[in-house]
Structure 1
Amino acid sequence: MKEKIVSLQSLIQHYVQDGDTIAMEGFTHLIPFSAGHEIIRQNKKELTLIRMTPDLIYDQIIGMGLVKKLIFSWGGNPGVGSLYRLREAVEKGFPNPLQIEEHSHAAMACAYQAGASGLPFGILRGYTGTDLAKENPDYIKWINCPFTGERLAAIKAINPDVGIIHAQQADKKGNIKIWGITGVQKEVVYASKKVLVTVEEIVEELDDKQQGIVIPHWLVTGISAVQKGAHPSYAMGYYKRDNGFYKSWEDISKDFDRFSLWMKDNVL
């Protein structure tokens, strides 16, 4: 598409394909729920999802049977409990079997950074004394430092087909501004082949008085303005986290029929 700023429907329709590897990041803050819901509505299938902390939006996409693999470093409903759609997919293969590739937070950040830097792998000490390397031999290897001889873990770089984030603002040129907790959003943007951004608002010019991260327009594939696009997570300066919804998801997601009815009424 020639236009960079488009509707959410067009953004997902043109840039997300069946079978894509997708990273939707946001660390408790600015989680791109609206983009995830549009992926569900358009029934994008056979997806590989990547996220440091899969929470409710990934539970929803997995529960709808659209995911074949999850690459992650922690999965749960923050402060509440399990993700029951994720859990049932892993334990019972319902509604579809789910492959999992588990890492530590540090390793995921390292792999994103490697991908953003154009390197084939990242290096860390964090896997020493754990079984994660043994469980993921295709993605974690042991190497010796050429300077000290120290044994270190190498983790394969992450380069998603599509990186999706939510931010507070974009200007009309397509530059993006984020402030508050950012997690690994910047790394995902630089590591991904295509970058899709939903924002709370489009402004004439980004405010240089507010500290934050500015993502240049030339990195961004497409933008859509979606108010409350991160709800029920929060967007600093715009709205607070909906803690009540996170608590209610515990009961909604436990039963597949109740989950399906909720998705029909609220997403589909």
Structure 2
Amino acid sequence: MATTDDKVTDLASAVAAHVRDGMTVALEGFGHLIPFAAAHEIIRQGRRDLTLCRLTPDLLADQIIAAGCVRRLVASFFASGSAGSLHEVRRRVERADPAPLEVEEYSHYGMVCRYQAGAANLPFFPLRSYAGSDLPRLNPNIRKVSDPYGGPDIYVVPPLRPDVTIVHAQRADRAGNVQMWGIVGVQQEAAYAARTVIATVEEVVDEEVVRSDPNRTVIPSHAVAAVVHCPGGAHPSYAQGHYDRDNAFYREWEPISKDRDATLAWLEAYVHGVPDRAAYLEMIGAERWAALKVSPRLSQPVDFGRRRLAEVGGRQ
């Protein structure tokens, strides 16, 4: 039954309500639980001039940039899931074809520190990992400051505060308590750094399910604005316990991405040509989707215990 704190909505409504032109949008998920369905809905709604924030911009970045949604990319480690290059990103950066792309590059840890600073409302975050790197020369936002305790100068990065962070997860309750397991990247930090959080999930579960295993709650309800039931929302990446990574898709993207016309044709067929994620999964085919299903591998139960009531008058 819906309650006053029910945050469940559909994906089109969530994007329409919370993602606007010119915003800074973080789409996070470190190889796992990548919010592809949300990115496709942003493309479908024709958002423009976005700043996209992402550790390891991969196929998602290639697609949303090719669609003309992104003006600026804030990211670390450009890669196509170990299956080739990001040719749309390369066209933009190397030849400004068909338009230039502003890029602000950090290390993985630099991006993590930026989100942490944003989440904690800090003016910057110190880190040592840029010693010997060319990145400080290429990125003026990576700076050095004096150690107030007398040590050597240290590099710092500025806070990152997205207007919207979008994550995909295995499950959430209707109030917005989001639970994840498997590889968890920087989703929690990116969520707390953002003004608004949208969570797409494989399952919407009862509150009792979340309360039975509270340590899996990576993002609690007070940080979440919208919950979207979106099975298959991470394809072609994977959702631990639900479906495997579609490695063939990553390999197939290489020749598509090399040809801009082929890239636009793919977007027309698989994004603009379908109304939602369910229709997208039908497009990729039942046989292919079934081949990605995984067998159960249950973890051992955990006993959280319960306080015993003091016996009064022989009764508990």
Q: TM-score range by the shorter chain?
A: over 0.9
Q: Match of 2:252, SS?
A: helix
Between the aligned partners of 2:99 and 2:200, the Cα distance in structure 1 is 29
Q: Find the partner of 2:122 among 119, 122, 126.
A: 119
Aligned counterpart, 1:134: 137
Indicate if the aligned counterparts of 2:6 and 2:174 stay in contact, CA closer than 8 A.
Answer: no
Aligned-pair CA distance for 1:197: 0.7
Aligned-pair CA distance for 1:214: 3.3
- 1:150 pairs with 2:147: no
Query: Gaps spanning 5+ residues in structure 1: where?
Result: none
Aligned counterpart, 1:204: 206
Between the aligned partners of 2:216 and 2:95, the Cα distance in structure 1 is 43
Aligned counterpart, 2:90: 87
Between the aligned partners of 2:244 and 2:143, the Cα distance in structure 1 is 41
- 1:70 pairs with 2:73: yes
Deviation track 1:12-66 (CA, whole Å, cap 9, x = no partner) reads 0010000000110000000000000000000000010011100001100111121
- 1:165 pairs with 2:172: no
Q: TM-score, normalised by structure 1?
A: 0.96
Alpha carbons of structure 1 residues 114 and 214: separation in structure 2 relative to 1, 3 Å: same
Aligned counterpart, 1:250: 254
- 1:188 pairs with 2:190: yes
Aligned counterpart, 1:176: 178
Aligned counterpart, 1:226: 230
Q: Match of 1:72, SS?
A: strand
Flag as ranges the 4+ runs of structure 1 deviating above 6 A.
Answer: none
Indicate if the aligned counterparts of 1:179 and 1:211 stay in contact, CA closer than 8 A.
Answer: no
Aligned-pair CA distance for 1:174: 1.7
**Number of matched pairs:** 267
- 1:102 pairs with 2:143: no
Indicate if the aligned counterparts of 1:63 and 1:95 stay in contact, CA closer than 8 A.
Answer: no
Determine what percentage of the aligned residue pairs are the same residue.
48
Pick 1 or 2: higher relative contact order, CA cutoff 8 A, min separation 6: 1
Q: Match of 2:112, SS?
A: helix
Aligned counterpart, 2:271: 267
Aligned-pair CA distance for 1:120: 1.4
Q: TM-score, normalised by structure 2?
A: 0.82
Bigger Rg, structure 1 or 2: 2
Note the aligned Cα RMSD (angstroms).
1.5
Q: Match of 1:43, SS?
A: coil
Q: Match of 2:17, SS?
A: helix
Which deviates the most, 94-103 or 14-23?
A: 94-103
Query: Gaps spanning 5+ residues in structure 2: where?
Result: 273-316
Deviation track 1:179-202 (CA, whole Å, cap 9, x = no partner) reads 111110000010001111100010
- 1:36 pairs with 2:39: yes
Q: Match of 1:267, SS?
A: helix
Between the aligned partners of 2:217 and 2:84, the Cα distance in structure 1 is 32
Indicate if the aligned counterparts of 1:26 and 1:165 stay in contact, CA closer than 8 A.
Answer: yes
Which deviates the most, 31-40 or 149-158?
A: 149-158
Aligned-pair CA distance for 1:3: 5.6
Indicate if the aligned counterparts of 2:7 and 2:174 stay in contact, CA closer than 8 A.
Answer: no
Between the aligned partners of 1:213 and 1:170, the Cα distance in structure 2 is 8
Q: Match of 1:173, SS?
A: coil
Between the aligned partners of 1:96 and 1:48, the Cα distance in structure 2 is 15
